[in-house]
Structure 1
Amino acid sequence: MESIKDFKVCPVQYVTSINDTMNVISGKWKLPIIGSLYFGKKRFTEIQRNISKITPRMLSKELKELELNGMIVRKVYDSFPVTIEYELSESGILITDVLDKMIEWGIEHRKAVVSK
């Protein structure tokens, strides 16, 4: 298996890997959805309540894309009425390390900018 060290010696692979990542998580809503699911399984309306200003249509679209990219798992329960829950996949759980680093960076960056 290749490691990040292998990619750092080849700018093309490094940039390609960044593009691959951005293709999966880019957009206004994907990271907030992943962030919402970071805290456990949720139904559609629970996710929508956690993310202000997202429309049902946009949430549905983004959930489908995240599922297609293997970031989340959609589970349909045979109940009445039908219950659907979303949760992070293994790959989705792995990206939370990236989110934690982004949050750390954001906090430090804000402190540095505000202190100027």
Structure 2
Amino acid sequence: MARNIFRLSFASIYPLYVEKVERKQRTREELDEVIEWLTGYDEAGLQRVIADGVDLETFFEQAPAFNPNASLITGVICGVRVEQIEDPLMQKVRYLDKLVDEVARGKKMTSILRTA
């Protein structure tokens, strides 16, 4: 089951992330900022992976510069502590989920991006 999530296209998940943050009065730009911080994709790169229908596995494997501070992302997502997830790819997926949750909850961007 878990492996099936890796075959989902980033393009199919991205609108759900947008909907989640906008429902909480946050913006697509804030969402993109955290995705770019985590993965190293720029705006053009994000648009390209969305247009190309890249799956999650490829999205993370081809990330230009996965942020070394991602290990500072801690907490529970889907009932599991992200820092304890053993599968590296699943951990990256859950890091992104956690960041999206933090944006939607109204956390300050400096805190989300682990800069303060």
TM-score (ref. length: structure 1): 0.29
Greater relative contact order (CA < 8 Å, ≥ 6 in sequence): 2
| Higher strand proportion (structure 1 or 2) | 1
- Which entry has the higher C-alpha Rg, 1 or 2? 1
Length-normalised TM-score, structure 2: 0.29
